[in-house]
Amino acid sequence: MKRVEILSLFFTITIIFGCEKMVKIDEIDDVISENDLGIELKIDTNKDFEIQRIAENETSDYYLKIIVADEFYLRGKTEIENNKKYKLSVTMKNDNANPIISYSFWKGLKTSLRNYTLDGENGNPPTSKTQEIHSDWVTFDEYFEAQEGEESFMITLFSENGTFYLKDLNIQEILE
Q: What is the pLDDT of residues 49-96, one digit of tens each?
A: 999 989 888 777 789 999 999 999 999 888 888 888 989 999 999 999
Q: What is the pLDDT of residues 119-175, one digit of tens each?
A: 999 888 899 999 999 999 999 999 999 899 999 999 999 999 999 999 988 888 888
What CATH number is associated with residue 144?
2.60.120
Domain tally, the chain: 1
In angstroms, the CA 120 to CA 127 distance is: 5
In angstroms, the CA 146 to CA 79 distance is: 10
Is the pTM value of this prediction over 0.75? yes
Amino acid at 14: T
The range of the structural domain enclosing residue 16 comes to: 3-173
Beta strands in the chain (DSSP E): 22-23, 32-35, 40-44, 49-55, 62-79, 85-94, 100-107, 111-117, 120-121, 127-128, 134-145, 152-173
pLDDT class for 2, splitting at 50, 70, 90? very low
